[in-house]
Amino acid sequence: MPHARILIRPKAGILDPQGTAVEQALPQLGFAPASNVRIGRLVELDVDDASELEAICERLLANPLIEDYEIQVDA
Partner 1 sequence: MKVGVLQFPGTCDEVDALLAAERAVGAGNAELLWHRDRDLKGVDAIVVPGGFSYGDYLRAGAIAALSPAMESVAAFARDGGPVLGICNGFQVLCEAGLLPGTMLMNPSRRFNFRQVELEVVVADTAWTRAARPGQRLSIPAKHQTGRWYAPDALLQEVRANDQVVFTYAQDDRPNGSTANVAGVTNAGRNVVGLMPHPEHATDPLTGSADGLVLFRSPLEAAGVA
- With contacts defined by CB under 8 A, name the span among 14-22, 30-38, 45-53 that binds partner 1: 14-22
| Residues 54-65 as b or e (16 or more Cβ within 10 Å = b) | eebbeeebbeee
Tell which positions 43-72 bind partner 1, by CB under 8 A: 60-61, 63, 65-66
Helix (H) or strand (E) holding 17: helix 17-28
Q: Which range, of 11-19, 29-37, 48-56, touches partner 1 by CB under 8 A? A: 11-19
Binding site for partner 1 (CB under 8 A): 14-15, 17-18, 20-21, 60-61, 63, 65-66
